């Protein structure tokens, strides 16, 4: 990537994490199944137990979704781009023209990242609430009308700050009134689930590549052989597969360099415009953190972006299949 605009668009798309955390105790043959329902009149989500009782607790997935997200192996569960989940190669073009963006999205032929606003109709809420399909970071104010009366009162009782804004990974049913960036696979699944786009901002279209497929197939076969042989190498191969998609693309530019300096050099470093923070280690030794001028990344940024959003495609796809 040589275009700074495309670089910044890809950076906006990076969202780590696939988890939706619910604090709940489940006891076999005692705990009732809980349901979330949206009441349009009160504009509230109501949580209540139904008549069904939990009998077994089981894990849905014990493996990472990342190998399936960057391998480009043909899979009939991918209804787009010839049933393959391609990784982005060179950038083909960038556009901010709404009709160009809409045309690329509607044709479902190209792979891209697109920036837009949108929402799910309220008629779909009760279907989506078990696991809202949009995984994105947003800023949340700890106000009573935002986090609800109970959570707000608990925060006050424990002397937690209730005025500041926090950036949190959240599951959503709309883009929270903001422009958000999604890759084509994740966006097209959202559209199939009923997502409505209200405004278009930008799009970057890429070449399709499947360069990771031989690597993933080889490492997966080695892992399977290790499992069958009862070898601990299974964990080694799993780690290699999960960590090879481009994790170094995530936040490299945000990490500062730490230097151990004496008092005199620390005084000079603290006046540098890239100074982040200082911590005393001993009487004349200080750990000084400096924001680097450059960042090193050995994997293409678009590989990391597509792997992360493709994983969200698979998570939402699994959730949809379970409910259906």
Q: What is the pLDDT of residues 102-159, one digit of tens each?
A: 999 999 999 999 999 999 999 999 889 888 899 998 888 777 777 777 777 887 787 7
Percentage of residues in the chain having pLDDT higher than 70: 85
For residue 46, pLDDT over 90 is answered with no
For residue 49, pLDDT over 80 is answered with yes
Q: What is the mean pLDDT of residues 76-99?
A: 93
For residue 322, pLDDT over 60 is answered with no
For residue 249, pLDDT over 70 is answered with no
Of 126, 128, 117, which Cα lies nearest the Cα of 172? 128
Position 95 scores a pLDDT of 97
If phi > 0 it is left, if psi is from -120 to 50 it is alpha, else beta; for residue 307 that is alpha
* Distance separating alpha carbons of residues 110 and 252, to the nearest angstrom: 28
**115 with 104: CB under 8 angstroms?**
no
Q: What is the mean pLDDT of residues 70-96?
A: 91
* Distance separating alpha carbons of residues 216 and 75, to the nearest angstrom: 14
Six-digit token string for 172: 């959503």
Task: Assign 54 a pLDDT band (cuts: 50, 70, 90).
Answer: confident
19-46-198 Cα angle (round to 5) = 65
Position 247 scores a pLDDT of 58
Between 21 and 109, residue with greater pLDDT: 109
Give the model confidence (pLDDT) of 171-217 as tens digits.
899 999 999 999 999 999 999 999 999 999 999 999 999 988 999 89
Mean pLDDT of the chain: 84
For residue 21, pLDDT over 70 is answered with no
**244 with 214: CB under 8 angstroms?**
no
* Distance separating alpha carbons of residues 212 and 308, to the nearest angstrom: 15
Task: Assign 17 a pLDDT band (cuts: 50, 70, 90).
Answer: low
For residue 220, pLDDT over 60 is answered with yes
> Which of 227-231, 240-244, 267-271 is the most confident on average?
227-231
Q: For 116-136, give the DSSP string.
A: EEEE--GGGHHHHTTS-SEEE
Give CA 159 to chain center in angstroms. Answer: 31
Tell me how far CA of residue 308 lies from CA of 16, 66, 221, 287, in angstroms: 7, 7, 23, 34
Q: What is the mean pLDDT of residues 66-79?
A: 85
64-306-140 Cα angle (round to 5) = 85
Q: What is the mean pLDDT of residues 81-93?
A: 92
The pTM assigned to this predicted structure is 0.79
Task: Assign 2 a pLDDT band (cuts: 50, 70, 90).
Answer: confident
Position 62 scores a pLDDT of 52
* Distance separating alpha carbons of residues 317 and 18, to the nearest angstrom: 12
For residue 180, count other CB atoms closer than 10 A to its CB: 22
Give the residue carrying structure tokens 């998570």.
315
**316 with 23: CB under 8 angstroms?**
no
Give the model confidence (pLDDT) of 258-293 as tens digits.
889 999 999 988 888 888 889 889 888 999 988 777
Position 321 scores a pLDDT of 62
Task: Assign 85 a pLDDT band (cuts: 50, 70, 90).
Answer: very high
Percentage of residues in the chain having pLDDT higher than 90: 37
Could you give the count of Cα atoms lying within 13 Å of 156 in the half-sphere of its Cβ?
10
For residue 303, pLDDT over 80 is answered with yes
Strand partners, 208: 88
């Amino acid at each position: 990537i040589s275009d700074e605009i495309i670089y910044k668009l890809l950076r906006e798309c990076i969202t780590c994490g696939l988890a939706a955390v619910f604090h709940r105790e489940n006891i076999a043959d005692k705990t009732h199944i809980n349901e979330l329902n949206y009441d349009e009149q009160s504009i509230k989500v109501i949580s209540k137990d139904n008549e069904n009782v939990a009998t077994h607790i089981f894990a849905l997935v014990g493996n990472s979704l990342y190998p399936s997200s960057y391998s480009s192996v043909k899979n009939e569960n991918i209804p787009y781009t010839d049933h393959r989940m391609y990784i982005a190669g060179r950038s083909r073009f960038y556009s901010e023209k709404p009709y160009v963006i809409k045309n690329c999205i509607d044709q479902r032929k190209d792979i891209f990242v697109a920036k837009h606003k949108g929402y799910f109709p309220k008629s779909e809420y009760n279907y989506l609430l078990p696991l809202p399909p949009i995984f994105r970071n947003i800023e949340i104010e700890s106000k009573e009308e935002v986090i609800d009366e109970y959570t707000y009162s608990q925060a006050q009782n424990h002397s937690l700050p209730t005025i500041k804004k926090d950036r949190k990974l959240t599951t959503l049913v709309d883009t929270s009134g903001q422009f958000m960036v999604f890759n084509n696979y994740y966006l097209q699944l959202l559209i199939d689930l009923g997502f409505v786009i209200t405004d278009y901002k930008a799009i970057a279209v890429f070449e399709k590549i499947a360069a990771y497929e031989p690597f993933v197939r080889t490492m997966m076969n080695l892992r399977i052989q290790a499992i069958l042989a009862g070898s601990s190498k299974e964990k080694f191969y799993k780690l290699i597969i999960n960590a090879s998609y481009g994790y170094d693309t995530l936040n490299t530019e945000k990490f500062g360099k730490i230097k151990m300096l004496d008092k005199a050099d620390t005084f000079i470093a603290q006046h540098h415009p890239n100074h982040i923070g200082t911590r005393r280690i001993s009487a004349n030794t200080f750990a000084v953190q400096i924001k680097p001028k450059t960042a090193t990344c050995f994997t293409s940024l678009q590989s990391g972006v597509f792997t992360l959003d493709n994983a969200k495609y698979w998570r939402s796809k699994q959730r949809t299949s379970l409910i259906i």
